[in-house]
Structure 1
Amino acid sequence: MAALRTALNGRYLHPLPRSCGSLRFISSSFKAADLTIEKNPVLKPKPDPSSLVFGKQFSDHMLTIGWSAAEGWQTPQIKPFQNLSLHPASSVLHYSIELFEGMKAFRGVDNRIRLFRPMLNMERMFRSAERSCLPLFDKVELLKCISKLVEIDQEWVPYSTDASLYIRPTFIGIEPSLGVSRAGHALLFVIVGPVGPYFATGGFSPVSLLADPRYVRAWRGGVGEYKIGGNYGPTIAVQSEAAKLGCQQVLWLYGESEEITEVGTMNLFIYWTNESGEKELLTPPLDGVILPGVTRQSLLDLAREWVSEYEKFSEDKRVGELIGKGDFKVTERRVFMHELLAALDAGRILEVFGAGTACVVCPVGSLLYKGQTYQIPTMQNGPDLAKRFHKELTDIQYGRVQRDWAPLVA
C-alpha cells in the first residue's frame, strides 16, 4: 500500500504510507443525495462588483459536514452563514490540523455560472486530507455539495467579467482534547463570497519582489506541496518585511543553491531565451517544495497545446500566426537564482509572472536581492505571453470559449 503512486495533473507524487487509518473511511463518505438545506430567511444586499476587494464579504449560506471516528460522516448541511462553535481545546487551534482549498465560480457572458477545473481542487484537497490525517471522502460527492451551495447562492456570483465568486472549502480537526495525535472529530465546511482583484493595484500591473535567502517557505520532505494553513501563516512576517522594503511580494528561495520556488502565494513562470538560444517557458517542478496549482497546470496544458499546434502547422505561416506564438519549449525543472541573474544580465529574460486562482496571471516588474534592485522587462515585452495566458483562461472561465474545463453549475 505504501508503494502506491498517486497521479495528480499528469505528475506523479509519492504519498506517505497510509498510517493514519483514514483509508477505511472512504466507503463511508457522505453523499450529496442526503444533503439537507435550510434557507436563510434574511438575505444580505449584494455589493457593487466595482467595490469588491478580496476575501472581505461572504454570501448568505454555508456548507458543513461533521465527522467523528465513532460514527463516521454526518449528513451534509447547507444552512445560513454563521459563526462556528469550537471547544477551546480543538486540535485545529493548538496543532494546526487544518487544510483548505481555493476555487472560483464565474458568471459567464451568457449569464450561466461555471466552475473552473474543480476536480483538480478536489484531488488536491483529498491529498491534503490524507497528509493531515483527516478522514478521506468521495471527491465527486463533495463537488456535488459545493455546486449546490453555489447554485443556492448564485446571485452572489457577480454580474461582471472582472469579478467572481471565491469558494473556500476548509477542513479542520476539532478533537476536544490536548495531545498531538490524529483528530477523532473533524469538520468540513465551505464558505463563498464575491471577490475583485487580488492585488490592490488591480488590472495587469506588475508586482515587485523581495528575494531573501534567509527565509524559506517549504523544504523537501515537508508539506510545501499541500494546501494547509501552516504553509501560509509563517509567511506573513516575511511579507511585512518585503513591504517595508517597498516590495509587494516575496520570491521564495530554497537551500544553499538558492533554488527559486514560488512567488508569494503563486506558482512562478519564467519566459526566456535559454543558453541554447531557444525560447523557453520554464517553471519549477512538482517535487515536494511547491504547491501543484490548478492555474499552473492550466498554463502548462495550454502552452503544450500551442506548441503542438505550432509544430503541426509551422509550414503554413498564416496558420502559425493565427494560432499565436507556439515556437517555444515548455520545461519543468529546478531553476536557481544565479541562472535568473545571469539571464537578466545577458538580456535573455522576456517575461516573469506568477499564476494562481486568486490573481490568474500576475506580471513581475522588479526584484530586490541582497540590496540590489533588478528590473525585469516583463512589461516591455508586452507582456505578450502572460497576456495571452490571461485571455485564454478568462475566456474559458467567463464562457467566451467553450471547454470542458469549465462545467456549468446554473
Structure 2
Amino acid sequence: LAAPHHLNPKPDVNNLPFGKYFTDHMLKVPYHRRLGGWQKPEITPMENLNLHPAAKVFHYAIELFEGMKAYRGYDGKIRLFRPEMNMARMNVTAYRSGLPTFEGEELIKAMARLVMIDSEWVPHTESASLYIRPTLIGIEPTLGVASSDSALLYTILSPVGPYFKPGAKGLKLYAEPKYTRAWPGGVGDRKVGSNYGPTIHVQQEALRHGCHQVLWLYGDDHQLTEVGVMNIFMLYMKENG
C-alpha cells in the first residue's frame, strides 16, 4: 500500500468536478490464458499502466468499463449501490467483446476492500460520493483483429459531486436526426469505449448551439433513445389527467 508520505491531499467536497481527482490505491487483476486464466488480485498504490504499443486495446477498442458509486450514509456507513447489476452488465459486455468473464461476487468483494482502504476518500456529505470505475482491457501485444489472450481488469476510484452544477433549473438538449448512437444488433446497451468516442464531436456541436447534452434519436420516425450521460423519461399530461 501507499506509504503515508505518498498519500494525496483530499479535495474540497464542495468542488468536485467529475473524474478529476483519484484516490491513493487501485485494484488490478491480470488474466493470461496460457497461465490458466485469472491471476491473483492485487491492491497497489495508484500508478500508471505499462502497456506494449501493440496492445489490442489501443488498436481495436477491445475494452469495457462500468460506472458505480459508494455512498456514506447518515449513519456513517459506506454502501455500494446495486453492484451486482453492474457486474452482470460487465460480464455480458465482456462476452460480447471477446474478453474473459469473471465471478461478479468476487470482484465486488475485492472492490469493497479497495473502498475500505481508501474509505477517507468517500465524502462525508450527501451531495457527493465515491465513483468506482472497474475497467477490463485486452492487453495482448499483437496486431490482428482477434480476441486477446491477455487482459487486465483494474478498478480506480474518484470522489465526485453532482454531474451538473447544483441549482440547475433545466438542461437544453440538442437533437440532430443525422446522428445515431445506437441501433438494433449493435452494442448501445453495453459500456464499451467505442460507444463514446464517436459522440464527442456531436457533443461539441451541441455546446456550440448552447445546449448541455445530446438527445439521441433513432430511425426515420426519430425515436427518442437516451441523452448523452443519462436516461430520459417523458411525462404526458392528458386532458383527463
Decide which of 23, 28, 52 is 1:87's aligned counterpart.
52
Q: For residues 101 and 34 of structure 2, what CA distance do their matches in structure 1 show?
A: 15
Query: What does residue range 281-296 of structure 1 map to in structure 2 within 5 Å?
Result: none
Q: For residues 96 and 102 of structure 1, what CA distance do their matches in structure 2 show?
A: 18
TM-score normalised by length of structure 1: 0.57
Q: Are 1:109 and 2:74 matched, yes or no?
A: yes
Amino acid at match of 1:167: I
Residues 207-237 of structure 1, C-alpha deviation per residue, up to 9 Å, x if partnerless? 0001100100011111101011011111010
Query: What does residue range 238-277 of structure 1 map to in structure 2 within 5 Å?
Result: 238-273=202-237
Q: For residues 180 and 40 of structure 1, what CA distance do their matches in structure 2 show?
A: 42
Q: For residues 68 and 3 of structure 2, what CA distance do their matches in structure 1 show?
A: 23
- By how many angstroms is 1:181 displaced? 0.1
- By how many angstroms is 1:265 displaced? 2.1
Q: In structure 2, do the counterparts of structure 1 residues 141 and 191 end up closer, same or farther at CA, with 3 Å as the change threshold?
A: same
Q: For residues 81 and 205 of structure 1, what CA distance do their matches in structure 2 show?
A: 37
- By how many angstroms is 1:39 displaced? 4.1
- In the other structure, the counterpart of 1:153 is 118
Decide which of 134, 138, 143 is 1:169's aligned counterpart.
134
Query: What does residue range 299-310 of structure 1 map to in structure 2 within 5 Å?
Result: none
Structure 2: 5+ residue stretches without partners: none
- By how many angstroms is 1:202 displaced? 2.6
- By how many angstroms is 1:170 displaced? 0.4
Structure 1: 5+ residue stretches without partners: 1-37, 280-410
TM-score normalised by length of structure 2: 0.96
Residues 325-354 of structure 1, C-alpha deviation per residue, up to 9 Å, x if partnerless? xxxxxxxxxxxxxxxxxxxxxxxxxxxxxx
Amino acid at match of 2:9: P
- By how many angstroms is 1:143 displaced? 0.4
Report the structure number with the largest CA radius of gyration: 1
Query: What does residue range 203-222 of structure 1 map to in structure 2 within 5 Å?
Result: 203-222=167-186
- By how many angstroms is 1:203 displaced? 3.4
- How many residue pairs get matched? 239
Amino acid at match of 2:71: F
Q: Are 1:49 and 2:13 matched, yes or no?
A: yes
- By how many angstroms is 1:110 displaced? 1.1
Decide which of 51, 59, 70 is 2:23's aligned counterpart.
59
- By how many angstroms is 1:68 displaced? 1.0
Q: In structure 2, do the counterparts of structure 1 residues 203 and 77 end up closer, same or farther at CA, with 3 Å as the change threshold?
A: farther
Amino acid at match of 2:216: W
- By how many angstroms is 1:40 displaced? 4.1
Q: In structure 2, do the counterparts of structure 1 residues 258 and 158 end up closer, same or farther at CA, with 3 Å as the change threshold?
A: same
Q: For residues 205 and 236 of structure 1, what CA distance do their matches in structure 2 show?
A: 24
SS of residue matched to 1:150: helix
4+ runs deviating over 4 angstroms: none
Decide which of 215, 220, 227 is 2:191's aligned counterpart.
227
Is the 8 Å Cα contact of residues 40 and 61 (structure 1) preserved in structure 2? no
- In the other structure, the counterpart of 1:191 is 156
Amino acid at match of 2:130: L
Amino acid at match of 2:231: N
- In the other structure, the counterpart of 1:292 is none
Amino acid at match of 1:238: V
Residues 220-271 of structure 1, C-alpha deviation per residue, up to 9 Å, x if partnerless? 1111010110111110100000000111111100111111100112111111
Q: For residues 253 and 189 of structure 1, what CA distance do their matches in structure 2 show?
A: 33
- By how many angstroms is 1:44 displaced? 1.0
Percent identity over the alignment?
56
Residues 285-333 of structure 1, C-alpha deviation per residue, up to 9 Å, x if partnerless? xxxxxxxxxxxxxxxxxxxxxxxxxxxxxxxxxxxxxxxxxxxxxxxxx
Decide which of 84, 99, 102 is 1:119's aligned counterpart.
84
Q: In structure 2, do the counterparts of structure 1 residues 278 and 118 end up closer, same or farther at CA, with 3 Å as the change threshold?
A: farther
Q: For residues 189 and 207 of structure 2, what CA distance do their matches in structure 1 show?
A: 26
- By how many angstroms is 1:278 displaced? 6.3
Q: In structure 2, do the counterparts of structure 1 residues 181 and 239 end up closer, same or farther at CA, with 3 Å as the change threshold?
A: same
Note the aligned Cα RMSD (angstroms): 1.2
Amino acid at match of 1:270: M
Is the 8 Å Cα contact of residues 171 and 189 (structure 1) preserved in structure 2? yes
